[in-house]
Amino acid sequence: MFSGTDYRPTGDRVAIVVSTYNTSITDKLLTGSLQTLESRGFAQADIDVAKVPGAWEIPLAASVMAKSGKYAAVICLGCVIRGETTHDVHINTQVSQTLGNLAMQCQIPVAFGVLTCNTVEQAISRSGGAVGNKGVEAAEAALEMMGLLRNLPQSKP
């Protein structure tokens, strides 16, 4: 059985793309991801953070970083809160599909830490409140997938 729970960094670098829209939420997601990576042995110098205006811009920055070949994973953090229209649905659908496709294309973990909430209260709850911190969870998922990919048999050219 293959697993990635034994992952330890060995010169790997990680990118984090974080939206500055709803910054009171996304700052907490970022802090959670950074603390998780550092607690697992990453130096601050091995983590690059790119700040983008909103969730819509996350995929472009994530794509550039993933395709650079510099990173073993890209962690994507943001917060979209439902409003009076269906705007959130269109953003959430496109962002999630694009990030999923990016992971497949680049063959590296692209962790989805974008909150898709109905209310501000739900976002607060998921950024360090009663439900935990999805930034922590995204970093943990990226680390586990980095380990799993390291342990899986590699395809032959």
Tokens of 155: 């395809």
Residue 2 annotated as binding? no
Round the average pLDDT of the chain to a whole number and report it. Answer: 95
Q: Where are the domains of the chain?
A: 14-149
Spatial neighbors of 37 by CB under 8 A, at least 6 apart, are 14, 47, 139, 143
The pTM of the full predicted model, rounded to 2 decimals, is 0.95
Tokens of 60: 């472009």
14-149, CATH topology level: Rossmann fold (3.40.50)
Whole-Å CA distances, 101 to 94, 95, 125: 11, 10, 28
Would you say 95 and 78 are in contact if contact means Cβ atoms under 8 Å apart? Answer: yes
CA angle 136, 4, 105 (to 5 degrees): 85
Spatial neighbors of 149 by CB under 8 A, at least 6 apart, are 4, 107, 108, 109
CA distance 61 to 146: 20
Bridge partners for 81 per DSSP? 117
Catalytic residue among 87, 93, 131, 132: 87
> Which alpha helices (H) appear in the chain, and where do they start and end?
23-39, 58-67, 87-106, 120-126, 134-151
Task: Report whether pLDDT(156) > 70.
Answer: no
Does 87 qualify as catalytic in the annotation?
Answer: yes
Q: For tokens 């960094």, what's the residue?
A: 9
Residue 4: predicted pLDDT: 86
Overall average pLDDT of the 82-93 stretch: 92
Would you say 115 and 78 are in contact if contact means Cβ atoms under 8 Å apart? Answer: yes
Residue 112 annotated as binding? yes
Task: Report whether pLDDT(155) > 80.
Answer: no
With H, G, I as helix, E, B as strand and everything else as coil, classify residue 119.
Answer: coil
Residue 21 annotated as binding? yes
Residue 6: predicted pLDDT: 81
Summarize pLDDT for 100-153 with one digit per residue, the tens.
Answer: 999 999 999 999 999 999 999 999 999 999 999 999 999 999 999 999 999 898
Would you say 117 and 123 are in contact if contact means Cβ atoms under 8 Å apart? Answer: yes
Residue 13 annotated as binding? no
Residue 79 annotated as binding? yes
